[in-house]
Chains A and B, each alone.
Chain A
Amino acid sequence: MTRGRWLCTAALILTGCGHRDRIVVGSKNFTESDLLGEIVAQQIERRTELPVERRFHLGGTFVCHQAITSGQIDLYVEYTGTAYTAVLKQAPVADRDSVYRTVARDYAQRFGLVWGKPFGFNNAFAITVRRRDAARHGLRRISDLARLAPGWKAGFGYEFLERADGFRGLASVYGLRFAAPPTAMDLGLTYRALAEGKVDVIAGNSTDGQIQALDLVVLEDDRHYFPPYEAAPVIRQATITRHSGVAVALAQLAGKISDAEMRRLNALADVEHRDIATIARDWLRATVP
């Protein structure tokens, strides 16, 4: 080890600021977020010399937001519609570009965070029913659901029930009146409850692997209630200033994942139980050589 390296290391140990020399990637507590976090982490490792630390499966949007604004993590993958409604507390709108513009501008001004280019897919809330029910009742769009709702049972996760772009707005836009108030339950259990016939309609995510695996269908949001949820990396401005290579590495992922591709990757993890690191490595090798 050279004298310079020695001094550097000593300085790092003394000041306890090892953080400057590594990139900390976070993710939210569901498969897709873990997958995208891993893809981003490996891409940074491949394209820069920086060590990457993973802080995955953090408890949801707000935990990630707190973590990144306080500097505990340098970046994570967020969805435009979620940032727009849940973080910036705006009323939901359907225009894709204006949501991205607003989010990018406000994040930069208020939090010192930069929105990278979206990966290319849109992971909207997906009002989901069993395929055989859809076939039997001619269900294709959410507006078709209004006439059936009085005899149906709904089960939703807590986030969907609480959020501004969640159930309350959906019910009023589409005039949905279920027989009983929707059952509030853990999001992961709603797919199981739907497949087992314990509820008739749930709100999943359009890129979830279980939709195909459990023979479910997503109803079309024909009144464009849900805002777009384009996934894109959110990075601390300070991190980009220090390590411009990170922004370059992330830019190479822009527009590379379609809806179908994301669904396929999620299914690899959730249905075929493949290891997330392997899925990410194979995908990166094939798509961004």
Chain B
Amino acid sequence: MSLWAFYARNSQEVLGLVGQHLYLVAISTGAAIVIGVPLGVLLTRRPRWRGPVLGVANVFQTVPSLALFGFLIPLPFIGGIGATTAIVALVLYALLPIIRNTYEGVAGVDPAVREAARGMGMTDRQLLTQVELPLGFGVILAGVRVATVVSVGTATIAAAIGAGGLGVYIFRGVAVVDDTLILAGALPAALMALGADALLGVAERRFAWRAP
């Protein structure tokens, strides 16, 4: 069966899985931003924590997803089977680029600019929200962009823990070696990654003028 015939016949199912996939990526990347950006900022204030925090985020990247799921299944609240576990895993995978770029973006602000802001009598909070974050925004966004594109790809493993998404077609296709089925999952995922990359690329360029 050709790919197009497959899509025509299963359009409802395909749309459902694409929706699940987008949901997994959106929630997990959103959560990774909420956790990662403050952490990155914190590292600029407490440079001594930089090594350990980035080290831990780094380690998460290296844990194979099936092993991670195995560890997560017994845990209350964040574990079990289904979307929650998949999202927790995706957040852990997305943290590193966001924390790192936030740190680099904020720490990379020209010391002279920071001095000038201090001289104008800015408080710590004002310095952060009015100077450092706006100036580092392009770099932070670049981190979010990497995290999002990678998440679109890794979200296919959610199908291994019953969380759905486009990985369902890939896993089913691998189980019965059906190339059409594998492509049916892989192709939209790839398009989604390219789309997210282009969209965030445009946003990045729009804000690039703010960076020094």
Contacts and interface: CB of A to CB of B under 8 A. Distances in A.
Nearest to A184: B162
Interface of B: 66, 69-70, 73-74, 80-82, 159-162, 168, 171-172, 174-177
Given A188-B66, A189-B73, A60 B177 contact: yes
Given A184-B159, A186-B66, A158 B73 contact: no
Contacts of A37: none
A157 B160 CA distance: 9
Given A62-B177, A155-B162, A189-B160, A183 B171 contact: no
Nearest to A62: B177
Interface in A184-203: 184-186, 188-189, 192-193, 196, 198-199
B176 A159 contact: yes
Given A60-B177, A198-B80, A184 B168 contact: yes
Contacts of A196: 73-74, 80
Given A159-B175, A183-B81, A186-B171, 10 more contacts: A158-B175, A159-B176, A162-B172, A162-B175, A163-B176, A185-B81, A186-B160, A189-B161, A192-B70, A196-B73
Nearest to A65: B177
A155, A163, A193, A199 — most chain B CB neighbours (10 Å): A193
A66 B176 CA distance: 12
B73 A186 contact: no
A63 interface: yes
A163 B176 CA distance: 8
A161 to B, nearest CB: 8
Contacts of A185: 81, 159-162
A183 B82 contact: yes
A161 B171 CA distance: 11
A244 to B, nearest CB: 32
A183 B74 CA distance: 17
A162 B162 CA distance: 15
B70 A189 contact: yes
B176 A162 contact: yes
Contacts of B168: 184
A46 B175 CA distance: 35
B174 A158 contact: yes
Nearest to B65: A186
A199 B107 CA distance: 48
Contacts of A175: none
Contacts of B160: 185-186, 189
Contacts of B74: 192, 196
